[in-house]
Structure 1
């Protein structure tokens, strides 16, 4: 006989509480108090002493008028005082203000970038037993992270009469991220995602201290990016003319991300994953000889009618140069993602034109032909003054990616030469490449139950390389590919699973690597916070009724 666990989701005034019908299991692990932050700060001095805040006159001020900070102050006030019934407690000392002190606002007019400075996003936070609270940071980006943490430290205390009071524990925090690259990949090609959906998830990323939106713009299925220099790409390649990202849409997303300290890195994959480009520009792609005689004939499932860019034509590289120049000017980040994964050679193998080109240029095999494309494509990107990211696939073929930042995505389950992601990390870092890690964090592959634990337990430096090789890991990304994900189920797949990844990338592993039972209480709190901020329906936890209603959690839950 199977026991059916039924959950009620109650959202009074956007406050989420989950109650199982029958409480049978006491949650294990350390019971963190209300107002426990996520991700875990590097140094978190938390006391049991409480202070109170008056929502009606609490001051949020800064020494800078930078729009990133002034906008954040306006945005965070309703998040800090999310409970509309909370008032100041007459039994506690009231702190009157939070002051945000930024040492330099030189980044104010700039977009955030990958920076090796360990203090680029660092901050300190002090909630004293009397007087005003303070966030101090070297940069505006660190100040944003500190303000996010402060918003999480404020919680609602309820007395026996049902009155609500805005309170915080006396706290000192010194914090900075473990890795400078902490990203989410969203795929807008397999299923279109609206600008509003992207913005909602940028908000959620900010709540979790992610700082990179990896925008997988195009793929075989669709080309929704509206290029001004090559308008036929989207006119013919988008699903419909309602499913487009226009230039102004991109700028809107870019600005929304900038104000939250988030980089936006565009990806247009090549030479594979380009089937949608053929609709507007068939001349770019290799004409496949599926019947062995006629160009442009498919041989399913080996290849379509036209598949993979044609590396034999100079016009291919000129086209890509013009397209990527437009991307560079529009997206503002120092990096462009070039994809370069899963290049299938069958179409090249079928083409007599490709074979003649290889003979004329002394190219011995199709891996060398792929290297030829990579060399020319990378040289073009470098000529534009951009740095570039590539998936790991070319390295598996023994190819050279120059000074690429390499995204490792494979493990035994996702295919490839090796049985574990650790082997891939050893291979890539052993060749001296800096790495973005994603292998454990494909969130479109989910399972029943609390699967956030396996994402939390995966550490990108947990491979048997040297200390120098492990130091080449600059961060990681949680990826949500869109074959079966759209705007309806995206948030339920992504959050709070991605929150587990966020803590792994932000927090010191000494503090958080071990016991997921201890993390359980804080991620419960964090999920409830995020529910209050939004109208989303996230994937849910098993809650014990006795834990939810226990007075230790009455303020938070």
Structure 2
């Protein structure tokens, strides 16, 4: 029976309830167990009514220095008492510039929706919050008081994401005071506040800690995930869910690897044949309205949607139409060429044709539209990895062009032309962006190898994204030459690893699977110290976990990204000094919370471990 059962009273009766449809039965009963907090752990004990035990959710909220906050804040004091309230009893007031207040209104709606999802009936599609409730619960109000001191509404690498949150309770009112420099800090504060709330199963209400003080800011400026939507198409709803979950974990950069040699799902109004020839089907296309929607959807949630147009390699399907267009010529070479092992790292192959000047005209058109779709850009990813020199050097048109221009045909000659291509691409993007320079991001590649990078790339114009291993000596060289970097090392932060091979047999190339513990423990600062003697915090922008989708589509994207993406989030937000072990119980609870919010996050442990903290160990 729902109602006023107190956790300290021993259960005497189990009542079988029939659901309204009379097709499902369930037990609604007081638990024979209760919990007490002991040295930061929730200890499960017989609920005899003698000791003052609390529910599991109550203990989770109030036990330990951070309760169940994720990622761990810079500093926090969480009270040991809770008060009950109903989601209908939330009020708010804001002090901010008009454009910021408009965003905050949306953020408060998201905050309230997240609290609704804590009710176990929500996911089942049943009507939640049926009570009955006592006068104290019905009369209790949660008041939000939010102050934002600047008018910034767009994220950049210089955005102040810090916030302070103070929770206090007087009588029938709990007040949450949020003070921040920017909207993005306020949004983070609302997320933290939502994690100070849980469902109270015996009162069929919400509960919030009666007092809390949080002062918080991220260690790294750039905290992201890469999602590839070319190898397999990922639907808009799945991307929305990804952005929601990134926001729940205070990640701020969604790196969208939107096209590749496999498919071209991006619809361009000036170049509709790119997706006509390159999309898997008419249902596997992102239209301009989809792009603009997702960019704004992310902004409201504190996440930049960062586009990548990978070139000069990783192009192919979608470019075939240019061969049939009079006067254009072949703009991409080696497209679907066999045997693929000779011309690219995975099928299908394809690279831009350096010998055809029309290629730059088309590239400029692509940039023009991408700038409009993702505007305003503070960062742009050029891709720029895994060029196969054999593709270019076995294409008659390119070989003839290289020879006629006395460029040579050795590897260094092609690197020079690749570097020239990259400079032309930068100029085209700048023009597309109204002559305003955009900081570019490039993958580590042959251009960034030892002794190469400063020949081809200006360290003020580019950030280098490291996808090789954590012990790659090029990391130290890049940092010593004052290049800014983003870490995405495949031996720690590639989330698609550990599956069966998708070509041939055995395991996929980057196996084994990267468990959340490995994701959590990888520290960019430690790598920098090992290679340069200093943490290089001014040059390390942050990091990304990558999900390449050879073996992922809508059905698996949640479980591949989460909850391991949350482990990355705490590493990049807090850079904890300890390893994963002290974070385990908070991590497991965070996974439970994500599931309540509709995320199909992978199971990490049996439920028994969640209910018996510290007993699942080696």
Measured against the shorter chain, the TM-score band is 0.7 to 0.9
Distance 1:227 1:338 in 2: 18
Distance 1:225 1:373 in 2: 23
After superposition, the C-alpha distances for 1:281-327 in whole angstroms (9 at most, x for unaligned) are: 24344545xxxxxx997454313898311112221112111210211
Distance 2:137 2:300 in 1: 38
Distance 2:474 2:592 in 1: 37
* Aligned counterpart for 2:485 among listed residues 426, 430, 435: 435
Larger radius of gyration: 2
Distance 2:359 2:137 in 1: 72
Q: Is the 8 A contact 2:267 2:275 kept in 1?
A: yes
Distance 1:449 1:468 in 2: 28
- TM-superposed CA distance for 1:466, in Å, is 4.2
Q: Is the 8 A contact 1:217 1:225 kept in 2?
A: yes
- TM-superposed CA distance for 1:506, in Å, is 0.7
Distance 1:478 1:258 in 2: 20
* Aligned counterpart for 1:345 among listed residues 385, 389, 392: 389
The equivalences for 1:178-189 within 5 A come to 178-189=219-230
After superposition, the C-alpha distances for 1:32-62 in whole angstroms (9 at most, x for unaligned) are: 7523210000011123233443433231332
The verdict on how the C-alpha distance between 1:311 and 1:450 changes in structure 2, with shifts beyond 3 A counting, is closer
Which is further off, 470-479 or 375-384? 375-384
Distance 1:30 1:426 in 2: 39
Query: In structure 1, what is the equivalent of residue 7 of structure 2?
Result: none
* Aligned counterpart for 2:312 among listed residues 271, 276, 280: 271
Distance 2:550 2:135 in 1: 51
SS at match of 1:326: helix
Query: In structure 2, what is the equivalent of residue 97 of structure 1?
Result: 143
Query: In structure 1, what is the equivalent of residue 25 of structure 2?
Result: none
Query: In structure 1, what is the equivalent of residue 430 of structure 2?
Result: 382
Distance 2:168 2:322 in 1: 63
SS at match of 1:278: coil
Greater relative contact order (CA < 8 Å, ≥ 6 in sequence) = 1
Query: In structure 2, what is the equivalent of residue 21 of structure 1?
Result: none
Q: Is the 8 A contact 1:270 1:308 kept in 2?
A: yes
Q: Is the 8 A contact 1:251 1:330 kept in 2?
A: yes
Distance 2:182 2:553 in 1: 36
The equivalences for 1:326-341 within 5 A come to 326-332=369-375, 333-341=377-385
The equivalences for 1:404-415 within 5 A come to 404-411=462-469
The verdict on how the C-alpha distance between 1:165 and 1:147 changes in structure 2, with shifts beyond 3 A counting, is closer
SS at match of 2:78: strand
* Aligned counterpart for 2:114 among listed residues 79, 87, 110: 79
Query: In structure 2, what is the equivalent of residue 291 of structure 1?
Result: none
Q: Is the 8 A contact 1:432 1:469 kept in 2?
A: no
SS at match of 1:538: coil
The verdict on how the C-alpha distance between 1:88 and 1:410 changes in structure 2, with shifts beyond 3 A counting, is farther
Q: Is the 8 A contact 1:181 1:474 kept in 2?
A: yes
* Aligned counterpart for 2:258 among listed residues 214, 217, 221: 217
Which is further off, 359-368 or 484-493? 359-368
* Aligned counterpart for 1:69 among listed residues 87, 104, 111: 104
Q: Is the 8 A contact 2:558 2:600 kept in 1?
A: yes
* Aligned counterpart for 1:115 among listed residues 144, 148, 157: 157
The equivalences for 1:35-54 within 5 A come to 35=61, 36-54=68-86
Distance 2:166 2:390 in 1: 61
Query: How large is the RMSD of aligned CA atoms in angstroms?
Result: 3.0
SS at match of 1:281: helix
Aligned length: 500
SS at match of 1:469: coil
The verdict on how the C-alpha distance between 1:518 and 1:218 changes in structure 2, with shifts beyond 3 A counting, is same
The verdict on how the C-alpha distance between 1:281 and 1:258 changes in structure 2, with shifts beyond 3 A counting, is same
Q: Is the 8 A contact 2:495 2:513 kept in 1?
A: no
The verdict on how the C-alpha distance between 1:92 and 1:248 changes in structure 2, with shifts beyond 3 A counting, is closer
Query: In structure 1, what is the equivalent of residue 11 of structure 2?
Result: none
Distance 1:221 1:54 in 2: 50
Gaps of 5+ in 2: 1-18, 20-37, 43-58, 62-67, 120-127, 324-328, 500-511
SS at match of 2:144: strand
The equivalences for 1:92-491 within 5 A come to 94=140, 96-104=142-150, 106-108=151-153, 112-117=154-159, 120-130=160-170, 132-158=175-201, 164=205, 166-282=207-323, 283-285=329-331, 287=333, 298-303=338-343, 307-332=350-375, 333-364=377-408, 365-384=413-432, 385=436, 386-393=438-445, 394-396=447-449, 398-399=452-453, 400-402=456-458, 403-411=461-469, 420-439=470-489, 440-446=492-498, 451-463=515-527, 464=530, 465-467=532-534, 469-491=536-558
Q: Is the 8 A contact 1:51 1:95 kept in 2?
A: no
Q: Is the 8 A contact 1:457 1:516 kept in 2?
A: yes
The equivalences for 1:523-542 within 5 A come to 523-534=587-598, 536-542=599-605
Distance 1:126 1:92 in 2: 23
The verdict on how the C-alpha distance between 1:31 and 1:389 changes in structure 2, with shifts beyond 3 A counting, is same
Query: Normalising by the residue count of structure 2, what TM-score does the alignment of the two structures yield?
Result: 0.75
- TM-superposed CA distance for 1:383, in Å, is 3.6
Distance 2:395 2:94 in 1: 64
Distance 2:552 2:161 in 1: 32
- TM-superposed CA distance for 1:100, in Å, is 1.3
Distance 1:254 1:88 in 2: 44
Q: Is the 8 A contact 2:494 2:514 kept in 1?
A: no
Distance 2:301 2:182 in 1: 13
After superposition, the C-alpha distances for 1:215-269 in whole angstroms (9 at most, x for unaligned) are: 1110111000001111110011111111100111111111211111111111111
* Aligned counterpart for 1:519 among listed residues 583, 597, 616: 583
Query: In structure 2, what is the equivalent of residue 543 of structure 1?
Result: 606
SS at match of 1:172: strand
